Chains A and B, each alone.
Chain A
Amino acid sequence: MRMTIRTIPAAFFGLALLVLEQAGAASAPVEFNRDIRPILSDRCFACHGPDAGTRKTKLRFDLEAGAQTAIVPRDPAKSEIYRRISSDNAATRMPPAYAGLDRLPDRDIELIRRWIEQGAVWQNHWSFLAPARPAIPAPGGSTWARSPIDRFVLARLEREGVKPQPEADRITLIRRLTLDLSGLPPTPEEVDAFLRDTSAGAYERVVDRLLDSPRYAERMAVPWLEAARYADTNGYQSDGERSMWRWRDWVIGAFARNMPYDRFTIEQIAGDMLPNATPDQRVASGFHRNHRTNAEGGIVEEEFRVEYVADRVETTSTVWLGLTVGCARCHDHKYDPIKQLDFYRLFAYFNNVSDRGLVYNFGNDEPFMKAPLPEQERKLAQLDTKVVEAESRYANLQSAIAKAQRKWERSARRGAKLEWLEPENQTLRVKLADIVFDGKRVESRGDVASFNYQDEFSLAAWIRPDSPNGAIVSRMEDYFEGEGYGLFLLDGKVRLHITRRSTDIALRLETEQAVAMNRWQHVLMTYDGRRKAAGVRIYLDGEPQKLKVLFDELTYPFGPKEPFRIGAGGGEKLRFRGSIDDVRVFKTALSAQQAHAVALKDRVDEIAAIDPLARTAAQADKIALYFLEVAAPKEIRESRRRLMEAQTERTRFHDSIQTVMVMNEGAPRDAFVLRRGAYDARADKVTPGTPEFLPKPARGAAQDRLGFARWLVDRANPLTARVTVNRYWQMYFGTGLVKTSEDFGSQGEWPINQELLDWLAVEFMETGWDVKRMQKAIVTSATYRQSSKAPPELVQRDPENRLLARGARFRLPAEMIRDQALAAAGLLVEKVGGPSVKPYQPAGLWQELAGGKGYTADHGDGLYRRSLYTYWKRTVAPPSMVTFDAPARETCAVRGTRTNTPLQALNLMNDVAYVEASRKLAERMLESHGTPGERIAYAFRLVAARTPNPSEARVLSAALAKFEAFYKRDLKAAAQLLSQGESPRNPALEAHELAAYTGVASLLLNLDETITRE
């Protein structure tokens, strides 16, 4: 018999049915995508699925054509698939025991039987087909629905025979709304204003007010930072600091300005590639530099560079496509039609950034850019102007200078001996005229000339070598390439070593030219403190030398443990032979002109005697320098000093401006399929491209990262809009319409209400990806506004509230719990953006894992900023955040967990941050002057928006009385409790009373209701 399996695309299918009814009556229609695909995917695809590498036979259940041989529609008994899964014979039963899988549950077997019986109708995977705008259903008999959202929800509820809940009371509503949209609780005044405003549109006006507040942007930024794995350190074990807060502030700004999501996407994926990209757009591209980077000495560079590119692919797929593309890194995807090739074609888009595998541990690594704030830009412009003005004033003096110098020279050549010195910057000068270095002699000068890799310094000496190998000066461990710095002759060439560890953390370079033997020459090395070979100059007899860079990886400070030595360093074989004299060390990198002056033995008065036209360049430099520094008329010296100061000031300020790591397109790098995902197992070369099962990029679109970014937000892309609105839904309901918000593939959950999801997605795209508009659409719906109280039958029937027949009730995210406490206490310092801050943290957390200086908490404002500004060290994340389930920021996270643990209780009861907040909340209570009952009610309103009912008030008053009795007896305890936290205490308040109220305030901050959004 010929087999026919009708194919009906998922999008054409009727309304989504709830999982709740899945195992319903035997006659209920079975639907492939909802009921069957999940079973096949989970239990069969591993061997009969998309991965060609592990597919055991031609039989595959991910494609309709592949499954045909095993299915006879309407005849389960003749269908091989049914015979095998229902078999009692362990030898023939599928899935087989050797695959580590148990027999299918009876329920699944029965579903498959019924599906076959009903005709085995196949459907393509729902999320790979573009969403079409579904017709808005018109469920009858209710005035409950306010918007299309509600009609989709209600249509579903009608079928289930469930009624939605009425609107929540207004106090609950405004608290819910204010927490959801601003991340902070409403003030009693805001609550009162809303209660008073009984006119139409009062609710919408609150929504608009909240959406217009900068707090909205901060609130929206948090889940985005988690998805973007944003942090203040690099991660991996060295976990040094980086600076990405300018990117974080870009995100906040984008939400505040309501940047359309398509532009938001394009700028973050490829802002650097936009035509005439603005600095802001380049900053946006920092999104894909937020991944962890490794500074551990000894790593294989390419291994980690590949890791970073893979992270970009995986993060992009999760955030925009809702696909677990990472599974295809090592082999074809087991469940979705993503080939290993697809992974590496996506990889190729992100592969041309000129970043490195081994990064700098103490700041941003290339590529990065200066990202001044507007006020910094203004100041920089002022300083630039100052430099230009000083330059121009000095330039105007040139003829006067020349004249004055000629005049002075006439007296100088008849005057006393004059020598140019650099006394201010010179830290050491040693004359050794009589000493012969015989290959054994070492001249130690102790703990002087101590420099590190971020210090400028210069080393100079006269040498008369007898051997082409020997140390000139050094401060280092006395063996070849020991830790420290040293200037040597090696094969006659002048060689500089600055070493932390010779094998991988060092700077080494040498002159192309060798010095002459048995002749006095002057050697000078200058280093600019910027840890790169490009910042080194070597002069021979005052002339700059061509340098050969041998090693350029000075990424860690070094410890100059041993004394400053002349003629030694680098081991016994490198003791100098010959003479060394006039060793000079400077704590600056000398300029070329200064180099000339240092190297020239001619005295200034002698040069003055030479006809200016007959002088060498070095002579001219030296006398000019002496004149300008020492002998010029005051007006000239002042003008020159002002110019130099202006330049220094400008440089210093420019150096102090923060940078941010960004994307760039460096030299194109070839991309390859990597076997098993291993960096060194290259297979076929690949070009960039999108997976074949998804719509192709628009015709003529560039096959580069920018083209890819545009493809992500192309109207034809079936995933991006759905995945995004689903995350918004998750924000307001605790769970997305697709519960697995990170996985819209075969193993992900089938949407609980696909029509609603598709309507939201289409609406989002067709209204210009308007983010605020989408938030407003959701929070103004009747669905959102429902009471979260529900009859027990409903809670029992739908414990996870997937039907949406009530409002969502869930614990606040970590950052909101702390921010709310700060707000209620009146401690919160609201300031948008800026460098991350360090609030309280138990002592020693950083040291016990990593040693070093550890964590130093801020004082003042830094203790009270919103939690999204808290400094995030990846390897030791802020404990009060992770205790409340904040993702660790190591990799992309779009769906958190919510746990309920004793550590959370301890945190809220005993963390100084909450004890202090309780103390300040208590002050507010006492300052509010009323009866004790009124004070309690006031604080209750500050944390929960409502006033306590009489029973609650009774419990709280009783606790207050007990605390008061205790602290009256024990004033010392009161003083101790009130000393918690750095904020000042109102001295006008009685200690025992304040302590007792602190206890009650802490109680309020610990209430289930307080940390829950109802």
Chain B
Amino acid sequence: MSLMTRRHFFGRAAAGIGTAALAHADSGAGPDGGLPGFPHFAPKAKRIIYLFQSGGPSQMELFDFKPELKRLQGSELPDSIRRGQRLTGMSSTQTTFPVVASRFGFSQHGQSGAWLSELLPHTARIADRLTFVKSMHTEAINHDPAVTFLQTGSQIAGRPSIGSWLVYGLGSITRDLPGFVVMISPGGGGGGQPLYDRLWGSGFLPTRFQGVKFRSVGDPVLYLSNPAGFPESNRRIFLDALGELNRMKLEEFADPEIATRISQYEMAFRMQSSVPELTDLSKEPARTFELYGEDARKPGTFAANCLLARRLAERGVRFIQLFHRDWDQHGKMQQDLPKRCKDTDQASAALVEDLAERGMLDDTLVVWGGEFGRTVYCQGRLTPEEYGRDHHPRCFTVWMAGGGIKAGMTLGETDDYGYNIARDPVHVHDLQATILHCLGIDHTRLTFKYQGRHFRLTDVHGSVVKPLLA
């Protein structure tokens, strides 16, 4: 790269929303930035909505129907199945590993005949739009490393998250909103495993690629509102004067950083109106709330976030990631799991349908899933009222829909215990490679040199899961 091109590149790269992108409004290069040569090939999807279910939703109760288990109920998990698999510190002191069947019923749905739990009636309704991957597997066995692995391709903190990679590679579509937005909802219990900013962090990529968290309390974006007593008209006076003073400085120094700063203040001003407009749901018709559920009227719920996700997608946000907490059913499966499903089932299905109705599903990839699965054996108490399951990295289920992905199929199979994968394993790196592929990116060629190494989301692994592709 010649020096001037490099400077141009860096100058441009130094803009951006702090955080992912609104890159280079000053460059005149159009809103879509990104790296030269990206996308690598024609993308099927323009954007992603990733509905992350944090804590490890139980595939045993929701997706992976195992009729044999009724018969095996209470029997000890055979060593031939467990095969020395490591356990968490929570169940490694357990002396017995009794198999427990799902206490929720399953039935088949749609043309595809997908088996789904009675806990997911809405998901069942749109089964033919979805593709289930029942053979997901991961390497980590505890939440922090496992979520970090799914989000960044490494269990160890410090790598960029998938959204940061995407915006780094592809740039942003919109000038008025960040390219990567994150929204969080607590489980109904208000608790669950904590999350942490690094999950949408940019790692060693410049911090402007990190996800911007849209919040349901206070300002939707930190520090968005003018202070009380300082209305927009004053802000305009302020910015005009500031711009004038900064332009004098620019004359004097010719430092491109000053030019960037001037444009970033203007971008901030635009966000002050674009974000409130986005989060104002008052103009959504009643039909919207019939579709997403009344919960969608309550800020901070998963349903409200799903609706916001659609609105963000409409406005050109590249990567929208929702995190719903409290899927960690070590115990009290019967009591707690239905609540999480109630939090998420209708709105997840509504989002897919809504996108389809608006003709956006074809170029929007929707992904639903957690960081690992749950064990077939019971953790803790096994009584008629109560049971639980521990973390299980060897298999879990995610579903995908929309841009670039086949509809109405199931990939992969687990053994009769739902413990090991019997067919078509899909590693986390494979899922990541596939997601990038849908966006027109060859995962081996989205790299960043750091500490002397060309890092990528999929480390040195991963291959695109071709059978999933439409």
Contact = CB atoms under 8 A, between A and B. Distances in A.
B238 A1003 contact: yes
Given A875-B198, A910-B226, A977-B230, A237 B193 contact: yes
B228 A976 contact: yes
Given A501-B90, A874-B196, 12 more contacts: A296-B142, A298-B88, A799-B4, A876-B197, A890-B158, A890-B198, A891-B157, A904-B18, A906-B223, A909-B223, A976-B229, A1006-B242
Given A900-B15, A900-B257, A976-B228, A479 B381 contact: yes
12 contacts: A300-B86, A327-B453, A334-B453, A799-B256, A844-B215, A844-B218, A899-B14, A902-B18, A903-B268, A904-B18, A906-B272, A1008-B246
Contacts of B18: 883, 899, 901-904
B4 to A, nearest CB: 7
A900 B157 contact: no
Interface in A814-845: 842-844
A876 B193 CA distance: 14
B217 interface: yes
Nearest to A996: B234
A888 B201 contact: yes
Contact of A978 (B196, B222, B229, B262): B229
Interface stretch (A124-132, A388-396, A949-957): A949-957
Interface of A: 20, 41-42, 100, 235-239, 292, 294, 296-301, 307, 324, 326-327, 334-336, 358, 479, 501-504, 680, 740, 742-743, 745-748, 788-789, 792, 795-797, 799-800, 809-811, 842-844, 848-851, 874-877, 879, 882-883, 885, 888, 890-891, 897-907, 909-912, 915, 951-952, 955-956, 958-959, 962-963, 966, 972-980, 995, 999, 1002-1003, 1006-1009, 1012, 1014
B228 A980 contact: yes
B308 interface: no
B218 A843 contact: yes
B277 interface: no
B19 interface: yes
Contacts of B265: 902, 905, 1006
Contact of A906 (B190, B206, B222, B230): B222
Contact of A299 (B89, B208, B445): B89
A767 B194 CA distance: 50
Contact of B93 (A327, A503, A1008): A503
Contacts of B219: 842
Interface in B235-260: 235, 237-238, 240-242, 244-246, 248-249, 252-258, 260
Contacts of A297: 89-90
A977 B228 CA distance: 6
B161 to A, nearest CB: 13
A848 B17 contact: no
Given A236-B144, A851-B194, A976-B229, A956 B86 contact: no
Contact of A955 (B3, B22, B245, B383): B245
B239 to A, nearest CB: 9
B452 interface: yes
B191 interface: yes
Contact of A956 (B16, B241, B391, B451): B241
A630 B234 CA distance: 76
B264 A900 contact: yes
Nearest to A811: B257
Given A239-B196, A334-B453, A503-B94, A899 B16 contact: yes
A848 B19 contact: no
B241 A977 contact: no
B158 A901 contact: no
Closest 6 CB pairs of A and B: A747-B452, A976-B229, A977-B229, A901-B18, A875-B196, A903-B18
Contacts of B197: 849, 875-877, 882, 888
B231 interface: yes
A35 to B, nearest CB: 16
B218 to A, nearest CB: 5
Contacts of B14: 898-900
B225 interface: yes
B347 interface: no
Contacts of B313: none
A315 to B, nearest CB: 12
B7 interface: yes
A791 to B, nearest CB: 9
A766 B148 CA distance: 46
Contacts of B244: 955
Contacts of A952: 245, 248
Contacts of B248: 951-952
A920 B234 CA distance: 19
Contacts of A1002: 238
A299 B300 CA distance: 31
A843 B217 contact: yes
Interface in B179-203: 184, 186, 190-198, 201
B109 interface: no
Nearest to A310: B156
B467 interface: no
Nearest to B144: A237
B264 A882 contact: no
B80 interface: no
A398 B417 CA distance: 74
A889 to B, nearest CB: 11
Given A843-B218, A899-B18, A902-B22, A746 B452 contact: yes
Contacts of B141: 298, 300
A929 B86 CA distance: 74
A238 B7 CA distance: 42
Interface string B264-288: 1101100110000000000000000
Given A300-B141, A844-B217, A876-B197, A912 B253 contact: no
Contacts of B229: 972-980, 995
Contact of A910 (B223, B379, B381): B223
A238 B257 contact: no
Contacts of A42: 449
Nearest to B253: A789
Nearest to B191: A851
Interface centre among B14, B212, B219, B223 (most CB of A within 10 A): B223
B112 interface: no
B437 interface: no
A700 to B, nearest CB: 35
A999 B238 contact: yes
Interface in B106-144: 141-144
Contact of A899 (B92, B208, B231, B234): B208
Contact of A327 (B224, B267, B300, B451): B451
B233 A966 contact: yes
Interface string B415-452: 00000000000000000000000000000110001011
A844 B220 CA distance: 12
B16 to A, nearest CB: 6
B310 to A, nearest CB: 21
A787 B231 CA distance: 40
A742 B158 CA distance: 15
Given A900-B264, A911-B223, A848 B217 contact: yes
B23 to A, nearest CB: 10
A103 B133 CA distance: 37
A743 B451 contact: yes
Contacts of B227: 910, 912, 915, 976-977, 980
Nearest to B197: A876
Interface centre among A747, A905, A912 (most CB of B within 10 A): A905
Interface centre among B19, B212, B221, B241 (most CB of A within 10 A): B241
B334 interface: no
A248 B234 CA distance: 43
Given A503-B380, A875-B198, A903-B221, A955 B89 contact: no
Contacts of A41: 452
Nearest to B216: A848
A958 B241 contact: yes
